[in-house]
Amino acid sequence: MNILIVDDSELIRKRLVELIREFEEPTNIALAGNATEAYSACSERYPDVIILDIHLPGENGIKILEKIRKKNKEVKILILTNFPYPQYRKKCMELGTDFFLDKTNEFASIRGIMRTIYDGKGV
Alpha-carbon distance 52 to 39, whole Å?
12
Query: Over its length of 123 residues, how does the chain's per-residue pLDDT go in tens digits?
Result: 899 999 999 999 999 999 988 876 768 999 999 999 999 999 998 999 999 999 999 899 999 999 999 999 999 999 999 999 999 999 999 999 999 999 999 999 998 998 888 887 544
Residue 31 burial class via C-beta count within 10 angstroms: exposed 0-12, middle 13-18, buried 19 and up: middle
Complete DSSP assignment for 72-118: -SSSEEEEEES---HHHHHHHHHHT-SEEEEHHHHTTHHHHHHHHHH
Sorted by where each starts, the structural domains of the chain and their CATH numbers stand as: 2-120 (3.40.50.2300)
Q: What is the pTM of this model?
A: 0.93
